[in-house]
C-alpha cells in the first residue's frame, strides 16, 4: 500500500473480539486490500478483548489496534477513530459483518460514480439467508411501540421495492456497514455524540440528505450479518433491558432534535 491509503476502515469492538478478528480478516481479503488501512478499535471492553486483538492482529500490515480509555459509545467511538483515519474514504463496519472479497470495491465504485451519492450500504443477510431490513424510512414516534408489538411489520415501506433493482435511494441505512467520503464525514462532524447508542445512524443519514446528497442501498451486494439485535424485540423488554432503555433514550433525543412530527 502507498503511504496514504485510499480507504480507512473502522471496526469498533465492544466485547466481541472474535467477531472483530473475523471482520478484519475478511477486510484483508478484499480485492482492494492493498489500498486499505484498518483501525481495530476496542471501546474499553471489560473482558479479554484487547489482549485477544493484540494476540491475533498485532503485526498485520496496515492494521492498527487502538484502545480507548473508556466506553465512548458507538458514535463517539467511531468519531474518535475517524480522527486517526488517513484515507479519502471511510468504511464504518460492525464486527459481526463479513464483507465478500469484492464488496468494498463494489461499494467504492458506486460512491465514485456520482458526487451526489453521500453514503452507500449493502444488503445485510443473516446466516439462514433471510434479509435484514436495514434500509428504512425515517421513523415516527409511534413506530417505537409498533416495532415491539408488531416486529414483523416494522419498516415495511421498502419491502417490495428493495430487491427489484440493483440499488435505490432510501431514507436511512442501519449503521452496520457504511462507506462515505471522509471529507463529508468530517464536514458533518461525524455521528452526533449525544446518541450513546442507537439513532446515530438515522441522524447521520438525515443530515446527509439535508446536504442534498443521497443515501444509497446497494441490494446487489450481500454482506453477512448476525441475528440478535441489542434493542430487544418485545414490549416486555421495554423497561427491563438496559440496552432497550438506551434505545428509548436515544429515540427521545432524536425526536427532540428533529421534531416529534418528523
pLDDT along the chain (262 residues), means of 10: 87 97 98 98 95 97 96 96 98 98 98 98 94 88 64 56 80 96 98 95 98 96 82 41 84 90 62
pLDDT in tens, 186-231: 999 999 999 999 999 999 999 999 999 999 999 999 999 987 655 4
Q: ∠ CA(231), CA(233), CA(236), 5° rounding?
A: 100
For residue 220, being part of any structural domain is answered with yes
User: How much is the pLDDT for 67?
Assistant: 96
For residue 164, being part of any structural domain is answered with yes
For residue 64, being part of any structural domain is answered with yes
pLDDT in tens, 113-131: 999 999 999 999 999 998 8
Count of domains forming the chain: 1
User: How much is the pLDDT for 243?
Assistant: 82
- DSSP string of 44-73, one letter each residue: --SSSHHHHHHHHHTT-TTEEEEE-SS---
For residue 1, being part of any structural domain is answered with no
Closest CA to 37 of 95, 81, 100: 81
For residue 79, being part of any structural domain is answered with yes
For residue 2, being part of any structural domain is answered with no
> What's this model's pTM, rounded to 2 decimal places?
0.90
Q: Using an 8 Å Cβ cutoff, are 181 and 111 in contact?
A: yes
Domain that holds residue 244: 7-258
Residue 12: CATH number of its domain: 3.90.550.10
User: How much is the pLDDT for 157?
Assistant: 56
Across-strand partners of 67?
A: 42
For residue 98, being part of any structural domain is answered with yes
Amino acid at each position: 500500500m502507498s503511504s496514504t491509503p485510499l480507504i480507512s476502515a473502522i471496526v469498533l469492538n465492544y466485547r466481541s473480539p472474535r467477531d472483530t478478528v473475523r471482520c478484519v480478516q475478511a477486510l484483508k481479503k478484499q480485492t482492494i486490500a492493498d489500498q486499505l488501512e484498518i483501525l481495530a478499535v476496542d471501546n474499553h471492553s471489560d473482558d479479554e478483548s484487547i489482549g485477544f486483538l493484540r494476540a491475533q492482529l498485532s503485526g498485520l500490515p496496515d492494521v492498527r489496534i487502538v484502545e480507548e480509555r473508556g466506553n465512548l459509545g458507538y458514535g463517539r467511538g467511531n468519531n474518535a477513530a475517524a480522527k486517526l483515519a488517513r484515507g479519502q474514504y471511510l468504511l464504518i463496519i460492525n464486527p459481526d459483518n463479513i464483507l465478500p472479497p469484492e464488496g468494498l470495491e463494489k461499494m467504492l465504485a458506486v460512491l465514485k460514480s456520482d458526487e451526489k451519492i453521500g453514503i452507500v450500504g449493502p444488503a445485510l443477510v443473516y446466516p439462514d439467508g433471510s434479509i435484514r431490513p436495514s434500509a428504512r424510512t425515517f421513523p415516527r414516534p409511534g413506530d417505537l411501540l409498533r416495532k415491539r408489538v408488531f416486529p414483523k411489520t416494522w419498516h415495511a415501506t421498502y419491502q417490495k421495492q428493495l430487491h427489484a433493482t440493483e440499488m435505490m435511494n432510501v431514507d436511512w441505512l442501519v449503521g452496520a456497514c457504511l462507506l462515505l467520503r471522509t471529507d463529508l464525514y468530517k464536514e458533518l462532524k461525524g455521528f452526533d455524540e449525544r446518541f450513546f447508542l442507537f439513532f446515530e445512524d438515522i441522524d447521520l443519514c438525515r443530515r446527509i440528505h439535508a446536504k442534498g446528497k443521497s443515501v444509497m442501498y446497494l441490494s446487489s451486494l450481500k454482506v453477512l450479518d448476525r441475528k440478535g439485535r441489542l434493542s430487544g424485540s418485545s414490549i416486555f423488554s421495554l423497561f427491563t433491558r438496559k440496552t432497550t432503555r438506551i434505545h428509548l433514550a436515544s429515540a427521545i433525543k432524536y425526536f427532540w432534535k428533529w421534531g416529534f412530527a418528523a
